[in-house]
A and B are shown apart, each in its own frame.
Chain A
Amino acid sequence: MKDHGIISSLLIAGGFLLITPILSIHRVTDFMIFCIFAMSFDLLYGYMGRLSFGHMLFLGTGAYGCGLFIKYISGNPLLGILVGIAVTGLLGMLLGLIIVRTTGACFALINLAFNHIGFFLVLSPLRNITRGEDGFGVSASKLGLLNFGSRPIIFGFVLLCVMLVFYLLKKLTSSPYGIMIRSIKEDETRVRFLGYNTFLYKWLTFVLAGSIAGLAGTLTALNYNYVNPNAMDVNSNVGVVFACLIGGAGNLYGALIGGVTYMIISNFLPIYIYRWEMFLGFSLLIIVFRFRTGVWGYIQRGWEYLGKRKEVPRSVKKEAI
């Protein structure tokens, strides 16, 4: 079956709508924003094979870009989102020139270093603008029907963003560009040997992943009406890595499932299990040692297994004829 981006994004929207009555509209909005973030991380890690331990930098930049624009320049939320994404994209372009040259652990560490620098920047040198640890309120003005103060409207808007991002990434990753970044993951030297400019592709992917994370950041700012340095917290990077791994890296559905699973774990588990950091640690270990394909990998395998069972009799029949 050919996978049409539109149908699957509609299905995903349906899935989110389905879990809304069970959880709550607040939570599902959070979940969806996190899913956008997880998908952007998956583009970088799952598809291109570059593990970043500093992806929160882009989320934070988006949140601060949007928040500061709304606070100081204009209250228009849509312009705020665009500015947030533009700022993040610009940051990604600049940092990408440096970061993309490295691979493996260096890539992860240099991202971590930049995330640290960003966190520090908003915390102290830019204190006068960002208000340091206290953060600042973001009150977007109404724009016709688009009133970010009302819950259902922001829910619908975020849902639309999830569908859009999913559709875009689905199209991108099944295009020749997607094949290119996956081959870079497999063996970059060979791709370069074939005459492709791998640097350009890696840089583009980095900028794209950064900008989508920036979108997630702007939505976070509008959702909470509030920005503080937690949006850029270095330690929160574990969450998105965990989400990608548990869902199955290298697959957008995996990123979505992982995002929702992680959010459920981090929202509900601390109520029941006090030591939830330890739980996270042990589950990461189990994933790394036993469960590499993630939830989506298992679903896919099950699907293939079912498909084979159906196909087997047909081929037998053909032979009989």
Chain B
Amino acid sequence: MIYTIVYGLTIGAILYFISIGLSLTFGTMRVINFAHTITYTIGVYVLITLVNFLKWYFPLGAILAILAVIPISYLIERFIIRRLYGESLDYTFIATFAVALIGVDVIKWIWGVRPLPISDPIGKYLTFWGLSLPIYRILIVMIAILLFLALNIFFKKTIVGKIVVAALEDKDGVRCLGINVDKYFSIVFVLGSALAALGGVLYAPISSVHPYMGLSVLLLSFAVVIVGGMGNLNGTFLSAFGLGMVMSLTARYWSQGAETMVFIVMAIVLIFRPIDI
């Protein structure tokens, strides 16, 4: 049972990393961002290149992978997303999906279609009371909780965070105060993408790496965002860990049904609390 809980918390943490960006992008810009898959996957592939081929240390590779995602996500924001402000959701959806398609194809072009392996960088187990838990998974959960605290401080104490929170509530109101909202939106977008890359980088060693890996994870994190409430940061945190637990509990009894269970939960949430977007 302890294993199941740890497993669920790990998945919850990963989902949290990826969902924050989606939730923020949607809350501020009203853009459903399919291009998130790309920043996530590119981060992982950069990490693999650095760690497997250049034999760098994992933490250094991870940091560089996240940094590499920042300019890419800025370009996506500048040339695609910024043109979509105020458009109907269908077009933003299709345009970002197109970006995702292009990105997947670029990855296939550079790295090939075959899944690439990457090993657990710590590989040690924490043993107590007759249990042995992989330290790496515990580390992921710790990072997620630290990140949650850090983001809370960021959004409550810093001026950038306060502007973003205000823009989540009322974008036009913030613009009326003479603040260049677009600039902060691109900061939010880049931040979200970097966090998605962080999620990808941390998840890569305990999952398989292939060009389409982003799509399935993205669907799960959409479910997280919908269950937690669009643009609601604390809700995202809770629903990420909740759905992570749902996944691991389902997987314990019925291993193939884990992802489906998440969507069933999402459907139930939508029935009782439909979101008008």
Interface residues of A (CB under 8 A from B): 45, 49, 51, 53, 98, 101-106, 108-110, 112-114, 116-117, 120-121, 124-125, 235, 238, 241, 245, 275, 277-278, 280-282, 284-285, 287-289, 292
Does residue B145 face the partner (Cβ distance < 8 Å to A)?
Answer: no
Instruction: Specify the chain A residue showing the minimal Cβ separation from B87.
Output: A288
Tally inter-chain residue pairs, CB-CB below 8 A: 114
In contact, A278 and B270 (Cβ under 8 angstroms): no
Q: How far is the CA of A277 from the CA of B93 in the complex (A)?
A: 17
Of A120, A124, A241, A277, most B-chain CB atoms within 10 Å: A277
CB-CB < 8 A to A284: which residues of B?
94-95, 97-98, 101
Does residue B189 face the partner (Cβ distance < 8 Å to A)?
Answer: no
**Interface segment out of the listed B49-57, B177-185, B195-203, B255-263:** B255-263
Q: How far is the CA of A235 from the CA of B106 in the complex (A)?
A: 17
Q: How far is the CA of A292 from the CA of B90 in the complex (A)?
A: 12
User: Would you give the shortest CB distance from B42 to chain A, in whole angstroms?
Assistant: 15
In contact, A113 and B256 (Cβ under 8 angstroms): no
**Interface segment out of the listed B146-154, B167-175, B215-223:** B215-223
Instruction: Specify the main secondary structure of chain B where it touches its partner.
Output: helix
| A120-B259, A124-B256 known; A114 vs B94 contact (CB < 8 Å) | no
CB-CB < 8 A to B90: which residues of A?
45, 49, 51, 104, 108
CB-CB < 8 A to B131: which residues of A?
none
Interface residues of B (CB under 8 A from A): 26, 32, 80, 83, 88-91, 93-95, 97-102, 104-106, 108-109, 212, 215, 219, 222-223, 226, 256-257, 259-260, 263-264, 266-267, 270-271, 274-277
CB-CB < 8 A to A280: which residues of B?
98, 101
Beyond A102-B270, A285-B102, 11 additional pairs, beta carbon < 8 A: A49-B90, A98-B271, A101-B271, A114-B267, A235-B212, A235-B215, A238-B97, A277-B105, A278-B106, A278-B109, A289-B95
In contact, A105 and B267 (Cβ under 8 angstroms): no
CB-CB < 8 A to B270: which residues of A?
98, 101-102, 106, 110
In contact, A275 and B109 (Cβ under 8 angstroms): yes
Q: How far is the CA of A105 from the CA of B89 in the complex (A)?
A: 6
Q: How far is the CA of A10 from the CA of B26 in the complex (A)?
A: 46
User: Would you give the shortest CB distance from B52 to chain A, in whole angstroms?
Assistant: 25
CB-CB < 8 A to A245: which residues of B?
94
In contact, B256 and A282 (Cβ under 8 angstroms): no
CB-CB < 8 A to A102: which residues of B?
270, 274-276
CB-CB < 8 A to A275: which residues of B?
105, 109
CB-CB < 8 A to B259: which residues of A?
116, 120
Q: How far is the CA of A110 from the CA of B26 in the complex (A)?
A: 16
In contact, A105 and B263 (Cβ under 8 angstroms): no
In contact, B264 and A112 (Cβ under 8 angstroms): no
| A103-B276, A120-B256 known; A113 vs B94 contact (CB < 8 Å) | no
CB-CB < 8 A to A113: which residues of B?
219, 223, 263, 266-267
CB-CB < 8 A to B26: which residues of A?
105
Q: How far is the CA of A287 from the CA of B91 in the complex (A)?
A: 10
Question: A108: which of B93, B100, B108, B274 is its contact (CB, 8 Å)?
Answer: B93
CB-CB < 8 A to B102: which residues of A?
277-278, 281-282, 285
| A114-B263, A238-B101, A278-B101 known; A288 vs B277 contact (CB < 8 Å) | no
CB-CB < 8 A to B219: which residues of A?
112-113, 116
Instruction: Specify the chain B residue showing the minimal Cβ separation from A113.
Output: B263
In contact, A109 and B256 (Cβ under 8 angstroms): no
User: Would you give the shortest CB distance from B37 to chain A, in whole angstroms?
Assistant: 12
Q: How far is the CA of A196 from the CA of B89 in the complex (A)?
A: 25
In contact, A106 and B105 (Cβ under 8 angstroms): no
CB-CB < 8 A to B274: which residues of A?
101-102, 106
CB-CB < 8 A to A120: which residues of B?
256-257, 259-260
Of B95, B226, B263, B266, most A-chain CB atoms within 10 Å: B263
CB-CB < 8 A to B104: which residues of A?
277
